[in-house]
Structure 1
């Protein structure tokens, strides 16, 4: 059984569903990014996503603060589940904050398990980030790097 990857992104232009199929994505305010964030609080190149094969049937995305080479970091940092991170292996339902007005949730959907109902449920659960949540994350940033691959189900 393989999986599909969905990023539900909310920024100044509203909410978007982005199916992740490429091996690498750049995310940021720049029009040159694969996934453009419409928010003055996001950096031009805020983060990068890299597809990591866990085994022949499963994969996940790794998110990196800044560009893919790690040469340029985002101005305000990258937060996953409230923690400031430089690198993080994404797990189903991880919440990513790019700034006070831009956030996303990553979903790892199982193929052959009624994808449409999984997407509908994901959209229902999608929370709206508040400025207060972002300020709380900034007030106590914990630098962390996650090295483990997600556990397989």
Structure 2
């Protein structure tokens, strides 16, 4: 582990994670599973609004169907050497034209606007666990949010 930058403390990782999640036009890998346990992984645009992850997808997509059935997803944001992993639960689903404030927040950050697209929905996810690390020297203490509460 020579030549690794020093490990960040928890407060710095939290600040860095929130900055990453608030980045304009940031994408996220969304992992879901079917009722049969078949995995599904897809990249989509993300908005971070009120400590919630907001995704816009076609309501008939496998991602939407899996999330609505299981209520759970695992998200990965950032490159492998500066990753934020989020275990989240589906808090609510809203038509893209049903919540003006949510639509504005999503369009402002995601750099595209799904409002007006037939069949599209916003999936609002509540993080239950958030982990962040860069290199092996940051795997200890990587959990920053547990059971929906910040631990740092």
Please, what TM-score do these two structures have when normalized by structure 1? 0.26
* Structure in which a larger fraction of residues adopt helix: 2
**Quick check: which has more Rg, 1 or 2?**
2
Structure with the larger RCO, 1 or 2 (CA within 8 Å, 6+ apart)? 2
Please, what TM-score do these two structures have when normalized by structure 2? 0.26
